[in-house]
Amino acid sequence: MKHDDICEVTCVDEAKVTRVKNSIQQKDTMSVAQIFKALSDDTRIRIAFALCEEDELCVCDVANIVGSTMATASHHLRHLKNLGLAKYQKRGKLVYYSLDDEHVRQLIQIAFAHQLEGKLHE
Pick the CATH number of 14-120 from 3.10.180.10, 1.25.40.340, 1.10.10.10, 1.20.120.330: 1.10.10.10
DSSP label at residue 41: S
Q: What is the mean pLDDT of the chain?
A: 93
CA distance 109 to 78: 21
Tell whether the model's pLDDT for residue 88 goes beyond 80. yes
Whether residue 31 is predicted with pLDDT greater than 70 in this model: the reply is yes
Judge whether 47 and 77 are in contact, CB under 8 Å.
yes
Q: Which of 81, 118, 86 is closest to 99 using CA atoms? A: 86
Position 34 pLDDT exceeds 80: yes
CA–CA dist 73, 66 (Å, integer): 8
Q: What is the pTM of this model?
A: 0.84
* pLDDT at residue number 121: 66
Residue 5, pLDDT above cutoff 90: no
